[in-house]
Amino acid sequence: MDRRQYMRQFLALFSGTFLAQVFNFAAYPLLARLYTPEEFGLLGTFIAAAAIPGALACGRFELAITTAPHSGRQAVLWLCFTIALGVSAFATVAMWLYWWAIDAPMLWLLVPMLFVTVLLTGVTNALTMFLMRHESFRFASIGVVLRTATTVLVQLGVVLVWPGAMGLIAGFALGLVAQSLMGFAITSRWYPLGRPRRSHMRAMFRRFRPQVSVDIPGSLLAALSFNLLPFMLQFLYGTRAVGFYAIGQRIAVLPLQLFNDALSQVFFQRAARAQEARGEFWQEFRLTLLVSVAISLAMLAGLVFLAEPVLALYLGAEWEMSGTILVILAPMLAIRSVTMSLATTVFVMKRPVWLFWHNVASVIAIGAAFGIALATGAGMLTFLLLLAILQGVEYAIFGIALAVAARRRYYRVKAETA
């Protein structure tokens, strides 16, 4: 394994994530004083509502871009765009009916912004996988920076003429617009897409349908496990509680998730190639594990010792609860970070059903914590502590299972070639 190339590709992606967070961290003190916890709570529920269909926007065919034959890579990309259009339309109609039934404010703006958000989530995911297929990790990284910078600038600027949660939501949607436009510009210049051909798209659909049909239920459950918490917090403790969680998520959870995504994407690329060449991928697994553990331990120490005092000083005393929430969730977040960096192991081993059952267990853990809190009238911090314990144990079990399977495959191949 070429470790230098591995780390170079990871750093190309991670550097974009790091620079994007520089924009975020510079803006948080201003955003926290320009918007209220309730307004951040509304942003958090909008993002969660868009993220669930967004996870399935391409029907999971974006994963096929990596393994598709060279002649079929463009057809898979066009297939992803087509599916994303249909999924975003369906999700928008469904949410419009719900928002109309509850008489949600600013419905005429929420509906088109949800459509744009879901559609462009699929488009940017597909373009990112396409660029990485061509080893263009640096260009994929630039898109993350542009998206974050656009989001922050819009959110800071629009509050002067349009105060309220809709300004936050508009910034989030326009950030996706900027990222997708850059992705199209880079792709069109270096890797022309050509015209969509229905026969090629149908052929790729038939070829990869068995793979994605197994992955879709698990991906839906994964999206639910990542995005159910804002809805539960709103139901149990109100929109203000969602706001405290949302700002904590933006400061700690989202950067960590972006790091996981960057590391996981590089691991998936390298492990898939190693599996094809050697029949095993233990070296890639071990290196990814070591990098992820090092980063997660540093994150855990920072959150436990610094989250509460730093956030109170950084954002203002009003946001101190966000730091407390991060301290409670920190151990679970560290375990999740390590596990999700390696979760694509199931695709390399062609055992996606493992990920499905992991996601089932994760949703059950969240549901159990919610049920206990609802039945006992537990406070928000007690609910979050229970949630962290249940999910932390589940993620640890899944991560250990991945490590054992990858190690066994290594020894089996070693014994066969001895």
CA–CA separation, 410 and 85 (whole Å): 42
Give Cβ neighbours of residue 67 (< 8 Å, ≥ 6 apart): 272
pLDDT at 84 exceeding the cut of 80? yes
The rounded distance, in Å, linking the Cα atoms of 17 and 256 is: 9
Distance CA 319, CA 27 (A): 15
DSSP secondary structure of 317-375: GGGHHHHHHHHHHHHHHHHHHHHHHSTTHHHHTT-HHHHHHHHHHHHHHHHHHHHHHHH
Q: Report, as an integer, the average pLDDT of 201-208.
A: 90
Q: How confident is the model at residue 8 (pLDDT cuts 50, 70, 90)?
A: low
pLDDT at residue 220 tops 70: yes
What pLDDT, on the 0 to 100 scale, is given for residue 374?
Answer: 95
pLDDT digits (tens, 9 = 90+) for 123-160: 999 998 888 777 776 776 788 889 989 999 999 998 88
User: H-helix or E-strand containing 237?
Assistant: helix 198-237
Please name the residue ranges forming H helices in 35-106: 37-54, 64-67, 73-101
pLDDT of 418 above 70: no
Q: CA 294, CA 255: separation in Å to the nearest integer? A: 15
The model's pLDDT over 288-326, given as tens digits with 9 standing for 90+, comes to 999 889 988 888 888 888 888 888 888 888 888 999 999
Most confident segment among 1-5, 42-46, 185-189, 213-217? 42-46
Burial class (CB in 10 A: 0-12, 13-18, 19+), 195: exposed
Dmax (CA) of the chain: 71
**Amino acid code (one letter) for 208:** F
236 pLDDT above the threshold of 90:
yes
**Mean pLDDT along residues 174-190:** 90
pLDDT over 60 (residue 335): yes
Does 102 score more than 80 pLDDT?
no
Q: Are 282 and 361 in contact (CB under 8 A)?
A: no
Type and span of the H or E element at 300: helix 282-315
CB 333 within 8 A of CB 304: no
Q: Which helix (H) or strand (E) holds 36?
A: none
Q: What is the C-alpha to C-alpha distance for residues 67 and 180, in angstroms, rounded to an integer?
A: 23
Rounded to 5 degrees, what are φ and ψ at 269?
Answer: -60, -50
Query: What radius of gyration do the chain's Cα atoms show?
Result: 21
